[in-house]
Structure 1
Amino acid sequence: MSSPPATAPARPVAPTVAPGLLVAAILLLALNLRGPIVAVSPVAETIAADLGVSAATVGLLTSLPVLCFGLATPLASLLLARLGLGRGVLVALGVLLAGIVLRSVGGLPTAVAGTLLIGLAITVGNVAVPVVIGRDLPERAGAVLGGYTAALNVGSMLTLSLTVPIAGLVDWRFALAGWGLLVVVSAVVWHRATRAVRGAVAVAEERPGPSTVGPVWWRRPIVWGLTLAFAGQAFAYYGVTAWLPLLLRDELGMTESGAGLSSSVFQIAAVVGAFGVPVLLRVCHSPRTAVLVVSAAWAALPVGLLVAPAGWPVWCALGGAAQGGGITVVFSLVVRRARDLAENRRMSALVQGGGYTVAAAGPAVVGAVHEATGGWTAPLLVVAAAVLVLAAAGTLSARS
Structure 2
Amino acid sequence: MPPASATLLVVGIVLLAINLRGPIVAVSPVLDAITADLRIGAGTAGLLTSLPVLCFGVATPLAAWLLARAGLERGVLIALAALLAGIVVRSVDGVPAALAGTLIIGIAITVGNVAVPVVIGRDLSHRAGAVLGTYTAALNVGSMLTLSLTVPIAAAVGWRAALVSWGVLVVAAALVWWGATRGRPRGGPAQAAADADPESDRHPVWWRRPVVWGLTAAFAGQAFAYYGVTAWLPLLLRDERGLSGSAAGLSSSVFQVAAVVGAFGVPALLRLWPPRPVLLVVCAGWSALPLGLLLAPQWWPLWCGLGGAAQGGGITVIFSMIVLRARSLAENRSMSALVQGGGYAVAAAGPTVIGTVHEATGGWTVPLLAVLGSIGLLTVAGALSARRPPATAGAGSSRSVTSGSPR
TM-score by length of 2: 0.89
The correspondence for 2:228, drawn from 233, 236, 239, is 239
> Distance between the aligned counterparts of 2:307 and 2:15, measured in 1?
24
Over residues 301-347 of structure 1, what are the superposed CA-to-partner deviations in whole Å (9 max), with x where a residue is unaligned? 12222333332221111111111100111010000011111111111
> Distance between the aligned counterparts of 1:169 and 1:312, measured in 2?
34
The alpha-carbon deviation at position 18 of structure 1 amounts to 1.3
> What is the aligned partner in structure 1 of residue 342 from structure 2?
354
TM-aligned CA distance change 1:240 to 1:88, over 3 Å: same
Contact 1:69 1:356 survives alignment (8 Å): yes
> What is the aligned partner in structure 2 of residue 117 from structure 1?
104
Q: With a CA cutoff of 8 Å and minimum separation of 6, indicate the structure with the bigger relative contact order.
A: 1
Q: Secondary structure at the match of 2:327?
A: coil
The alpha-carbon deviation at position 252 of structure 1 amounts to 4.4
Contact 2:233 2:251 survives alignment (8 Å): no
> What is the aligned partner in structure 2 of residue 83 from structure 1?
70
Q: Does 1:220 align with 2:209?
A: yes
The alpha-carbon deviation at position 120 of structure 1 amounts to 0.3
Q: Does 1:39 align with 2:26?
A: yes
Which region of structure 1 is more displaced relative to structure 2, 200-209 or 120-129?
A: 200-209
> Distance between the aligned counterparts of 2:9 and 2:145, measured in 1?
22
TM-aligned CA distance change 1:188 to 1:260, over 3 Å: farther
Over residues 327-368 of structure 1, what are the superposed CA-to-partner deviations in whole Å (9 max), with x where a residue is unaligned? 111010000011111111111111111111111111222222
Contact 2:290 2:368 survives alignment (8 Å): yes
1:261-280 equivalences under 5 Å are 261-280=250-269
Gaps of 5+ in 1: 1-13
The correspondence for 1:375, drawn from 355, 363, 373, is 363
> Distance between the aligned counterparts of 2:68 and 2:140, measured in 1?
28
Contact 1:69 1:122 survives alignment (8 Å): yes
The alpha-carbon deviation at position 382 of structure 1 amounts to 1.9
> What is the aligned partner in structure 2 of residue 8 from structure 1?
none
1:317-336 equivalences under 5 Å are 317-336=305-324
Contact 1:212 1:340 survives alignment (8 Å): no
Q: Secondary structure at the match of 1:18?
A: helix
> Distance between the aligned counterparts of 2:4 and 2:69, measured in 1?
22
The correspondence for 1:281, drawn from 255, 270, 273, is 270
Give the fraction of aligned pairs with identical amino acids, expressed as a percent.
71
> Distance between the aligned counterparts of 2:88 and 2:242, measured in 1?
34
Contact 1:299 1:319 survives alignment (8 Å): yes
> Distance between the aligned counterparts of 2:56 and 2:368, measured in 1?
24
> Distance between the aligned counterparts of 2:125 and 2:370, measured in 1?
37
The correspondence for 1:297, drawn from 285, 297, 313, is 285
The alpha-carbon deviation at position 167 of structure 1 amounts to 2.9
> What is the aligned partner in structure 2 of residue 398 from structure 1?
386
Over residues 274-297 of structure 1, what are the superposed CA-to-partner deviations in whole Å (9 max), with x where a residue is unaligned? 11111222212x311111111111
Count of residues in correspondence between the two structures = 386
> What is the aligned partner in structure 1 of residue 56 from structure 2?
69
The alpha-carbon deviation at position 51 of structure 1 amounts to 2.5
> What is the aligned partner in structure 1 of residue 134 from structure 2?
147
Contact 1:17 1:193 survives alignment (8 Å): no
The correspondence for 2:92, drawn from 105, 108, 115, is 105
Contact 2:287 2:307 survives alignment (8 Å): yes
TM-aligned CA distance change 1:370 to 1:178, over 3 Å: farther
The alpha-carbon deviation at position 16 of structure 1 amounts to 9.8
Letter matched to residue 29 of structure 1 = L
> Distance between the aligned counterparts of 2:107 and 2:181, measured in 1?
21
CA RMSD of aligned residues (A): 2.0
Q: Secondary structure at the match of 2:339?
A: helix
